[in-house]
Amino acid sequence: MDQNDDKMMFDYADKFINLANEMSKSDKSGNVGVAIRYAAARYSAFEASMRTDNLAEDKDKQLQDFVDVFTDMLRVNLEDYIKVLSKK
């Protein structure tokens, strides 16, 4: 991704996060986090179906690609939170 794509991705992510934060104000059950992960999984399955002509054959590769990207994103964000929390 180039810088414009990065900015657009972060802008989109901020919109989802803002919506989740707003929903979390009235629902402290943890359902918002579960719902956003479910929505991401559902949309990722749709995206995977668009990236291949044979999803059944390519399912494991598609799954691993998404797992790898999510793991990297989660790792970076956890490290960011650790830094923020250590300054408190």
Q: Please state, in angstroms and rounded to a whole number, the distance separating the CA atoms of residues 39 and 26.
A: 19
Q: What is the pTM of this model?
A: 0.84
- Where do runs of H (alpha helix) occur along the chain? 3-24, 31-50, 55-86
The per-residue pLDDT for 2 is 79
Average pLDDT value for residue range 9-38: 96
Quote the longest CA-to-CA distance of the chain. 50
For 24-51, write each residue's pLDDT tens digit. Answer: 999 989 999 999 999 999 999 999 999 9
What mean pLDDT is reported for the chain? Answer: 95
- The conformation of residue 7, written as its DSSP 8-state character, comes to H
Quick check: 1 pLDDT over 80? no
Q: Are the CB atoms for 72 and 79 separated by under 8 Å?
A: no
Q: Cβ contacts of residue 88 below 8 Å, gap of 6+? A: none
Q: What is the structure's pLDDT at 3?
A: 83
